[in-house]
Amino acid sequence: MRNLLGLKAIPEIEYHRPAELSEALKLLAELKQNYKIVAGGTDLVPAARRGGVLFPEQGHTIDISGIKELAYIIEDSGMVRIGAMTRVSDIGESAVVKKHVPILAEAADQLGSLQIRNLGTIGGNLCNASPAADTAPPLLVLDTRVNVKNIDGQRSVPLTEFFTGPGQTILTPSEILTEIQVPIPEANAGLCFVKLGRRNAFTLSVVSVATLVRLKDGTFDDVRIALGAVAPTPIRASKGEEYLTGKQTSEQTLDKGAKIVAGEVKPISDVRAGEDYRRDMSYILTKRAINLSVQRARG
């Protein structure tokens, strides 16, 4: 029946469910590349059925959903620290996130369906490395860093360097993402996240934009812009940020800045939208998001 439906059968694999991070890291070191990691499984299993992810023959699946030490949200030393196994729904409902980084709660609430949010994890959303990952643009404008570990130690990586291509990250075969570290923005910062999909819910982004703005004497003192679903990876629009910083918050300035951002994106055409449409909407949504950020920065 699976062949008739054009679906791929997942081959026989050995299943592991470590209860502790140390056990998982030991498995990664032993198995090297002959494994797939499953957290919530909301992306991996459907992709495997479509043939988009190939399980190695006689390979291994490492289910890390039982590692409770990686599920937490805490405020610590000017940042919000989030364990990689934290459910997306918990992020959307977290009082800590809503208080200090509400833009992330907004994005989490718009990610997929309630069922997906209850299973999916923030670590999985980032490690899946979809160009349309909803949590990525807010985290990028917040100058987020991520911690990754292997059996020998850990390293801290800016999220701007984490994604290397569609479905690809800087993680080596022996490493696992363990923590997301989100600096708490200053109180006078205005933040905004806007998402365009083919319908109002349960959908991947056609274009998403996150912005952070701080103002000083009527000028842009700090501007950060990130976009999703318009390039091979989620991106920061550095040219648009550079142009706007230090300039007056006029309609003309904002319009030109948004046009510069639209020139930075590298969209593709697919079943959800065309390349030209994505570029046009990058301009429109960037302008809208910056406008809203300016209003929020002014209080």
97, part of any domain: yes
Q: Are residues 179 and 199 in the same domain?
A: no
Q: Are residues 217 and 134 in the same domain?
A: no
Buried b (16+ CB within 10 A) or exposed e, 155-191: eebebbebbeeebebebeebbbbbbbbbebbeeebbb
Cβ atoms 243, 256 nearer than 8 A: yes
Residue finishing a domain among 183, 198, 227: 183
Q: Are residues 195 and 178 in the same domain?
A: no
2, part of any domain: no
110, part of any domain: yes
Q: How far apart are CA 34 and CA 59, in angstroms?
A: 5
pLDDT digits (tens, 9 = 90+) for 119-136: 789 999 999 899 989 999
Q: Which two tokens stand for residue 287?
A: 């302008």
Lowest mean pLDDT among 56-65, 183-192, 206-215: 56-65
What was the pLDDT predicted at 11?
Answer: 64
Q: How far is CA 98 from CA 47, 95, 107, 184, in A?
A: 32, 5, 11, 11
Cβ atoms 212, 293 nearer than 8 A: yes
What was the pLDDT predicted at 272?
Answer: 75
Q: Which two tokens stand for residue 33?
A: 């590349």
Q: Are residues 119 and 39 in the same domain?
A: no
Answer whether residue 2 shows pLDDT above 50: no
20, part of any domain: yes
Q: How far apart are CA 140 and CA 101, in angstroms?
A: 12
Cβ atoms 191, 103 nearer than 8 A: yes
5, part of any domain: no
Q: Are residues 144 and 210 in the same domain?
A: no
58, part of any domain: yes
Question: C-alpha dihedral over 182, 83, 51, 272, to 10 degrees?
Answer: -40
How long is the chain?
299
Number of structural domains the chain divides into: 3
Answer whether residue 59 shows pLDDT above 90: no
- Residue 132: CB atoms within 10 Å: 21
Provide mean pLDDT across the span 98-127: 88
What was the pLDDT predicted at 269?
Answer: 82
CATH number at residue 154: 3.30.465.10
Residue finishing a domain among 183, 204, 238: 183
Mean per-residue pLDDT of the chain: 89
What was the pLDDT predicted at 3?
Answer: 37
Q: How far apart are CA 121 and CA 47, in angstroms?
A: 16
pLDDT digits (tens, 9 = 90+) for 9-45: 666 778 899 999 999 999 999 987 778 888 876 666 6
7, part of any domain: no
Q: Are residues 86 and 28 in the same domain?
A: no
Q: Are residues 223 and 292 in the same domain?
A: yes
Of the chain, the percentage scoring pLDDT greater than 90 comes to 71
CATH number at residue 212: 3.30.390.50
What was the pLDDT predicted at 54?
Answer: 53
Q: Coil, strand or helix: which one is 252?
A: helix
Q: Are residues 49 and 114 in the same domain?
A: no
Provide the 8-state DSSP code for 297.
Answer: H
Q: Are residues 273 and 250 in the same domain?
A: yes
Phi, psi of 153 (to 5 degrees): 160, -165
Confidence band for 197, pLDDT divided at 50, 70 and 90: confident
CATH number at residue 37: 3.30.43.10
Residue 24 structural domain:
14-63
pLDDT digits (tens, 9 = 90+) for 141-169: 999 999 999 999 999 999 999 999 998 99
Residue finishing a domain among 28, 47, 63: 63
Q: Are residues 41 and 137 in the same domain?
A: no
223, part of any domain: yes
Segments in 170-227 forming alpha helices (H): none
Provide mean pLDDT across the span 100-123: 86
Q: Are residues 87 and 34 in the same domain?
A: no
Q: Are residues 136 and 161 in the same domain?
A: yes
Lowest mean pLDDT among 132-146, 222-236, 258-272: 258-272
Higher-pLDDT residue of 222 and 3 is 222
Of the candidates 204, 50, 51, the one whose C-alpha atom is nearest the C-alpha of residue 116 is 204
What pTM did the predictor assign? Answer: 0.90
Answer whether residue 53 shows pLDDT above 70: no
